[in-house]
Every structure is written in C-alpha cells, then in structure tokens.
C-alpha cells in the first residue's frame, strides 16, 4: 500500500499533481490562515495565541541562530537512543515470549502489568534514581517504548500459522533456523508496526521529561517560553516537535515499504 502511495503521481501532469497535493493539505492551509487572522485582529489575547507570522518568524530566527537546531538535536538524540534500546530488547523478548514457554512464563506477566502503566508517572522515580541528565531521559524513553514493541512482536509471532511451520520442517528447515527463516520474516509487519507505534511515544516522553527536568531540548525550550511569557517560542517549539515527528514517521514508512517489499 505504501509503495502504491509513493508512486501514485507517476504519469500525471504537473497541474494534476498540484491539485492532488492541494487537496491533501487544504485543511491545514485554511487553519493557518484562520490562525493568522485571529491573531492579527486580536480576537484572542496575544499571550494565548500570537499571530502565526510571529511564530514562524521566531522559528526562523531560532533556526538561523542555531538555538533551535541545538535543542532539536538534544531531543532527537535522547528519543532515538531510548527507542533503539527498546527495539534491541523488545523485539527478541517479544518473539521469544511467543515461542518459548520459559521466556513467556517469565515475561508475559511483566508485560501484562507494565503495559497499562502511564509511563509519565515514572518520571519522579527516574529522577530519584538517575538524576535529571540524559541517562534518566533515555532510560525512561526505553521503558516507555519497550511495551508496544514487545507486545506487537509477541502477538505477531503468536499468529504465525502452524501449517507454515510444519511445511518448513518438512522441507528440511531445522528448529534452530526456523525462527530466523520463517517466524521472524512472517512476523516482520507486526514488529515494524510496534516500532511505528513506539516512535511518537519516544518523542512524547522525551518532550515531557525535558519540560519537567530541563537540561535543554525542545521541551525545555517550550517551558522556558512559558516562564518568560514568550508565547511565540512556545508554539515554535511545538512546531519543531511536530516536524520531527512527521519526518521520522515518513522515513519509517519508506523503510517499511522497502523491508516488506516481498509481502
């Protein structure tokens, strides 16, 4: 499906492509125009909703000065480091929980108890244990991102057809090779879906932790804007995290299409 979406403009004229793009973003354009008009005519107090032009202007200034790039780098580093740890731990634990009785006996109750816990509630605990530096932020992101990755890996592995397993055995596939040659490839769509779910979670956790504990990053930049009564800075930080989330999601979609081009 993603491949079809990526190639849907093939063979169309420039005007057709422009119309297609316009139809996909028209609601955002209308919202932005409405925002600017409300701000310019001061229908809402400037502190609560400054004109969009002021927000974009400050966003540009912070980007040119390097301040926005620095805070974006800090947020990305923490979020992606925690997400990587969650992938390295969550995928094998999820797969083995479905294929091994011993591993499932140990981890399934932990997953069942830990998955519903609001991860933000653990911020004070991680501050007590690890302080307010990068280590505590990365570890909390890893914990919060672990659950959807492990659960999706486990569920997708459990759904592998036993008929396929028996067919692979009949063709001479050993039990040791069965996991990597049959189970993991078939479970790959579900595993990648878990990573797609965990990606925005990692950004949310990082952003909120930075708001609470400081130490730089887009969350700290936003909360600094609130404390300094600089509302354009608040919205500029939100814009930055939205752009990061959108770009990373698109990158992951492209990678998914390439990895799963055999499906």
CATH number at residue 79: 1.10.3720.10
Residue 174: C-alpha distances to residues 92, 170, 180, 185 (Å): 19, 10, 10, 16
Q: Examine the domain organization and report whether 20 and 54 are in the same domain.
A: no
Residues of the chain with pLDDT > 90: what percent? 50
Mean pLDDT of 129-154: 94
Q: Examine the domain organization and report whether 53 and 29 are in the same domain.
A: no
Run of H or E residues at 164: helix 162-170
207 close to 218: Cβ distance less than 8 angstroms: yes
Q: What is the pLDDT of residue 7?
A: 45
Q: What is the pLDDT of residue 262?
A: 62
Q: Please determine, for residue 166, whether its predicted confidence score (pLDDT) is greater than 50.
A: yes
Q: Examine the domain organization and report whether 16 and 86 are in the same domain.
A: no
Q: Examine the domain organization and report whether 159 and 203 are in the same domain.
A: yes
Q: Examine the domain organization and report whether 172 and 145 are in the same domain.
A: yes
Q: Which of 18-22, 29-33, 75-79 has the highest mean pLDDT?
A: 75-79
Host domain of residue 28: 1-44
Average pLDDT, rounded, for the chain: 85
How many domains is the chain built from? 2
Other residues' Cβ atoms within 10 Å of the Cβ of residue 53: 14
Q: Examine the domain organization and report whether 38 and 155 are in the same domain.
A: no
231: pLDDT confidence band, cut at 50, 70 and 90? very high
Q: What is the pLDDT of residue 6?
A: 47
Q: Examine the domain organization and report whether 142 and 182 are in the same domain.
A: yes
Q: Examine the domain organization and report whether 178 and 83 are in the same domain.
A: yes
Q: What is the pLDDT of residue 91?
A: 93
Domain end position, chosen among 44, 59, 74: 44
Mean pLDDT of 83-97: 93
Q: Give the E-state strand segments of 22-69 in sequence order.
A: none
Q: Examine the domain organization and report whether 211 and 175 are in the same domain.
A: yes
The encoded tokens of residue 173 equal 């596939």
Q: Please determine, for residue 23, whether its predicted confidence score (pLDDT) is greater than 70.
A: no
Torsion angle in degrees (nearest 10) through CA of 249, 252, 254, 260: -140
- Name the pTM for this structure: 0.83
Q: Examine the domain organization and report whether 21 and 76 are in the same domain.
A: no
The encoded tokens of residue 104 equal 């499932």
Q: Examine the domain organization and report whether 108 and 153 are in the same domain.
A: yes
Contacts made by residues 178-183, CB under 8 angstroms, sequence distance 24+ = 179/95, 179/99, 183/95, 183/99, 183/157
> Residue 160 — left, alpha, or beta (φ > 0 → left; ψ -120 to 50 → alpha)?
beta
Q: Examine the domain organization and report whether 30 and 78 are in the same domain.
A: no
């Amino acid at each position: 499906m993603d491949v079809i979406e990526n190639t849907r403009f093939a063979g169309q004229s420039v005007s057709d492509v422009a119309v297609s793009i316009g139809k996909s973003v028209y609601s955002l354009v209308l919202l932005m125009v409405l925002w600017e008009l409300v701000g310019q005519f001061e229908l809402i107090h400037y502190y609560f909703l400054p004109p969009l032009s002021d927000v974009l202007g400050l966003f540009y200034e912070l980007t040119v000065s390097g301040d926005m790039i620095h805070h974006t780098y800090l947020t990305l580093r923490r979020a992606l480091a925690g997400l990587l740890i969650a992938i390295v731990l969550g995928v094998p634990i999820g797969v083995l929980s479905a294929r091994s009785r011993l591993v499932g006996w140990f981890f399934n109750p932990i997953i069942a108890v830990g998955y519903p816990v609001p991860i933000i509630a653990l911020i004070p605990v991680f501050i007590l244990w690890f302080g307010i530096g990068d280590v505590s932020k990365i570890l909390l992101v890893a914990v919060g991102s672990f659950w959807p990755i492990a659960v999706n890996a486990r569920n997708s592995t459990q759904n592998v057809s036993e008929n396929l397993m028996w067919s692979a055995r009949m063709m001479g596939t050993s039990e040791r090779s069965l996991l990597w040659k049959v189970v993991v490839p078939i479970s790959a769509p579900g595993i990648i879906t878990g990573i797609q779910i965990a990606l925005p979670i990692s950004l949310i956790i990082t952003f909120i932790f930075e708001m609470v504990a400081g130490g730089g990053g887009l969350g700290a930049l936003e909360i600094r804007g609130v404390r300094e009564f600089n509302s354009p800075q608040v919205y500029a930080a939100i814009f930055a995290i939205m752009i990061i989330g959108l770009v990373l999601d698109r990158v992951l979609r492209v990678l998914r299409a390439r990895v799963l081009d055999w499906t």
